[in-house]
Amino acid sequence: MKCPYCGHNKITVKMSYHVEKYDTIRRGRRCQKCGKGWTTHEYITWAGSIRPLHPLLALSGEDVEAGDTSQ
C-alpha cells in the first residue's frame, strides 16, 4: 500500500479491529515518511459482488491515533 499523501510505500498499521456491524476490518495506518495517518476499511467480496457498506466507510484523511475508536 502507498501513502495517499506522499506516495511512500512504507506504512505502519497503528490499530486494527473488526467492525461487526458492517463485517469489515478497520485499520489505522500511518506513513513512515510524512507521518500522516488515514483509516482503511477492508471487506470481503463474494464472486465479484461487493457486500453493501455504510456510505461513511471510506478513506479518511484525518489522523488516526492508536486505540482511537471515535472516528
| Residue 27 within any structural domain of the chain | yes
28 is in which domain, residue-wise?
A: 11-50
| Residue 3 within any structural domain of the chain | no
**Count of structural domains, the chain:** 1
For residue range 13-35, list pLDDT tens digits in order: 999 988 888 788 999 999 999 99
| Residue 30 within any structural domain of the chain | yes
Contacts of 26 (CB under 8 A, 6+ apart): 15, 16, 17, 18, 19, 39, 40, 41, 42
Give pTM, 2 decimals.
Answer: 0.58
Q: Are 28 and 39 in contact (CB under 8 A)?
A: yes
Give the pLDDT confidence score for residue 26 in this predicted structure.
92
In the chain, pLDDT over 70 holds for what percent of residues? 63
Task: Determine the average pLDDT of the residues in 49-60.
Answer: 50
Q: Tell me the backbone φ, ψ of residue 57, rounded to 5 degrees.
A: -85, 85
Q: Are 3 and 20 in contact (CB under 8 A)?
A: no
Give the pLDDT confidence score for residue 46 in this predicted structure.
66
| Residue 19 within any structural domain of the chain | yes
Task: Determine the average pLDDT of the residues in 49-65.
Answer: 49
In the chain, pLDDT over 90 holds for what percent of residues? 42
What SS3 class is residue 52? coil
| Residue 6 within any structural domain of the chain | no
| Residue 26 within any structural domain of the chain | yes
| Residue 39 within any structural domain of the chain | yes
